Amino acid sequence: MTREDLACHCGCGTNKAQDLLWQMIQKMEEVAGSQEASSGTRCLSYNRKFGSEDTSSHIPGWAVDVRVKDNHHRWQIITAAILAGFNRIEANAGFENYRCLNPKCRRKGAFRPWVHLDCDPAKPKETIF
């Protein structure tokens, strides 16, 4: 992925990706190969539309979501992420039929699985959720 891929996907152009996050993504990709970001940094309004909490590590630029193709790919991402120094990891199974509860939100349908990686210094370390 490129650093530009970490810009908010709403189209607003916000990209607060932290240098540390970007360095760790590059290390992760040295081991796992090039990956696709399904979500990088988010502006507050897009994060809310997304159904995520205001405390999300995507807002200050400490987190990336990496698209997962299958279970082996998930293993490759997570092992590479740990080698790269990520110590906060979420393995999300995705949604068969998601519908955001916010009436203004257009997000609905199927969402492929992803791995959330973050290095948010304000949150608990060495955790997989």
Give CA–CA dist 93/104, Å, rounded: 25
Q: By C-alpha distance, which of 91, 82, 90, 87 is closest to 126?
A: 87
Work out which of 38, 50, 65, 80 binds Zn ion, going by CB under 5 A.
65
Please report how close the Cβ of residue 63 comes to Zn ion at its closest, in angstroms.
5
12 binds Zn ion (CB under 5 A): yes
50 binds Zn ion (CB under 5 A): no
Using left for φ > 0, alpha for ψ between -120 and 50, and beta otherwise, residue 27 falls in alpha
Give CA–CA dist 36/48, Å, rounded: 23
59 binds Zn ion (CB under 5 A): no
Give CA–CA dist 47/73, Å, rounded: 26
Q: Contacts with Zn ion: how many residues (CB under 5 A)?
A: 8
46 binds Zn ion (CB under 5 A): yes
Work out which of 10, 31, 82, 100 binds Zn ion, going by CB under 5 A.
10
Q: Which positions touch Zn ion (CB under 5 A)?
A: 8, 10, 12, 43, 46, 63, 65, 116
